């Protein structure tokens, strides 16, 4: 019995000694090794809880856009290489500061002096009616930009079938142009520059529309926009509900095109009319589209001046038949003028040009020449001052108005001989 008590006492004593020793260990300062290990574990724990997974990173970086087909296009990063199947959109990509991304072009771009020479010399892969898909694929573009009314779905499908995304940016209105520029800004990671261009275009157009509201109804001019190319074939094609026609209405003119009876054409924005329709409606102002070639401008002027039937029109008698250069400035032409109308930035400069032709007093503070120079700066190209000209046909002949190097407006007669 006594032995059992002794054993129990020893057990109690052992427990008390262990408790004291444990309390002493708990109160001691941790060793350096233990401290580092704890911090490392703590840091690792934080990294694991705040760092996104690889999948989350890829999702966050994805660029998502919806093109004019309504199709959603995704890029994993801003495009570094592109092929552009449109002659206008290289201008915008250059203006965005991304000219080095252009690795292939369409067959019209080599004739567009509004893009730098190095871009005009890029590989040509075709046009809206014929694209060399194999050559396009060999350039390994991150995205293809299309911008033709006639680019077939089958061509787009062939390109997409190779795993190359296509952005179809075929505009039909000013709003479409704005959207196209915004999409390209996003595609190339140049959204700030795209916003600058968009703001410039919106503000310039808004100024025209606001000034147009100040024109009294009794002073609104009857005007019509005619295709110069068709005129040289002996036909009158009037633009109806199209950018050219809209530019007149926005500037405050009465567009008489929709009032004319004519024949619908395959060109969906134009109607062919008999000359009698022009005589019947007798516009105050006639605007004619023309290429930027002075040779073509002379040909159109000759066709009108040498044909007596034009001489009965009020617009001709008052010297208010204006030529509006559009399209490309072709390198092979010996004499050219600035092509003021086109998609993109030129769309708003063309509107300023038209507004100034219609109502020079109302739009006296609008400087389409200064805006053209701003555009050229974005494009990295230059043109002589004499190319910034407005041409009009009068009973006295073809007249050219331009601003010389001193800033003075100069009016000169232009020879009708090439």
Q: Flag whether 80 is in a domain.
A: yes
Residue 242 and residue 190 in one domain: no
The answer to whether residue 302 scores a pLDDT higher than 90 is yes
260-280 confidence digits (pLDDT tens): 988 877 666 789 999 999 999
Domain that holds residue 146: 61-201
Give CA–CA dist 100/118, Å, rounded: 9
Residue 102 and residue 145 in one domain: yes
Residue 142 and residue 226 in one domain: no
Give CA–CA dist 315/416, Å, rounded: 20
Domain boundary among 141, 166, 201: 201
Highest mean pLDDT (candidates 58-72, 151-165, 236-250): 236-250
Higher pLDDT, 3 or 118: 118
Q: Which of 383, 385, 388, 390 is nearest to 404 (CA)?
A: 385
**Given the DSSP bridges, would you call strands 126-127 and 222-227 parallel, antiparallel or unpaired?**
unpaired
What is the number of domains present in the chain? 2
- Helix or strand (DSSP H, E) at 208: helix 191-212
Instruction: Give the number of other Cβ atoms within 10 Å of residue 60's Cβ.
Output: 8
The answer to whether residue 43 scores a pLDDT higher than 50 is no
* CATH value at residue 296: 3.40.50.1980
Q: Which of 362, 364, 384 is nearest to 373 (CA)?
A: 384
Q: Which of 167, 170, 258, 246 is nearest to 209 (CA)?
A: 246
Residue 176 and residue 248 in one domain: no
Residue 192 and residue 263 in one domain: no
Structure tokens that stand for 144 in this block:
């293809």
**pTM to 2 decimals?**
0.83
- Res. 330 pLDDT band, cuts 50 70 90: low
The percentage of residues in the chain with a pLDDT greater than 90, rounded to a whole number, is 65
CA distances to 76, 120, 253, 338, 381 from 113, rounded to whole Å, are 33, 8, 32, 10, 8
Q: What is the pLDDT of residue 113?
A: 85
Q: Which of 317, 316, 250, 328 is nearest to 287 (CA)?
A: 316
207-221 average pLDDT score = 97
91-142 confidence digits (pLDDT tens): 999 999 999 999 999 998 998 888 999 999 999 998 867 899 999 999 999 9
Residue 191 and residue 232 in one domain: no
Packing angle, helices 191-212 and 243-250, rounded to 10: 50
Q: What is the pLDDT of residue 418?
A: 72
Please check whether residue 252 is in contact with residue 215, taking contact to mean a CB–CB distance below 8 angstroms. yes
Domain boundary among 149, 169, 201: 201
Residue 82 and residue 197 in one domain: yes
Domain boundary among 201, 233, 266: 201
């Amino acid at each position: 019995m006594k032995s059992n008590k002794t054993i129990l006492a020893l057990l109690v004593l052992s427990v008390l000694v262990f408790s004291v020793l444990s309390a002493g260990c708990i109160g001691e300062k941790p060793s350096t090794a233990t401290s580092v290990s704890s911090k490392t574990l703590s840091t690792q724990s934080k990294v694991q809880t705040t760092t996104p997974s690889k999948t989350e990173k890829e999702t966050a970086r994805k660029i998502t856009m919806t093109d004019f087909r309504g199709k959603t296009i995704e890029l994993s990063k801003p495009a570094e290489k592109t092929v552009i199947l449109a002659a206008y959109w290289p201008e915008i990509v250059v203006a965005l500061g991304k000219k080095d991304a252009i690795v292939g072009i369409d067959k019209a771009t080599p004739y567009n002096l509004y893009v730098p020479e190095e871009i005009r010399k890029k590989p040509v892969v075709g046009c809206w009616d014929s694209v060399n898909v194999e050559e396009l694929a060999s350039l390994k573009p991150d995205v293809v930009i299309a911008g033709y009314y006639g680019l077939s779905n089958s061509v787009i499908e062939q390109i997409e079938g190779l795993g190359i995304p296509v952005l179809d940016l075929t505009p039909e209105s000013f709003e479409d142009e704005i959207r196209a520029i915004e999409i390209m800004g996003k595609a190339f990671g140049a959204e700030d520059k795209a916003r600058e261009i968009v703001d410039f275009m919106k503000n310039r157009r808004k100024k025209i529309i606001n000034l147009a509201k100040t024109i009294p109804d009794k002073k609104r001019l009857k005007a019509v926009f005619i295709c110069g190319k068709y005129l040289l074939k002996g036909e009158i094609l009037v633009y109806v509900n199209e950018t050219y026609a809209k530019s007149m209405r926005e500037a405050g003119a009465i567009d008489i095109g929709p009032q004319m009876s004519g024949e619908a054409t395959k060109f969906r924005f134009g109607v062919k009319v008999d000359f009698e329709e022009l005589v019947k409606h007798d516009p105050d102002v006639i605007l004619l589209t023309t290429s930027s070639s002075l040779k073509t401008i002379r040909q159109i002027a000759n066709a009108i001046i040498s044909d007596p039937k034009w001489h009965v029109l009020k617009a001709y008698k008052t010297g208010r038949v204006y030529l509006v250069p559009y399209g490309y400035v072709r390198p092979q032409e010996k004499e050219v003028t600035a092509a003021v109308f086109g998609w993109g930035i030129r769309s708003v400069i063309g509107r300023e040009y038209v507004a100034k032709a219609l109502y020079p007093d109302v739009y006296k503070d609008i400087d389409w020449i200064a805006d053209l120079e701003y555009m050229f700066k974005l494009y990295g190209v230059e043109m002589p001052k004499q190319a910034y000209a407005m041409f009009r046909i009068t009973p006295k002949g073809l007249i050219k108005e331009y601003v010389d190097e001193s800033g003075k407006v100069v009016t000169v007669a232009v020879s009708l001989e090439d």
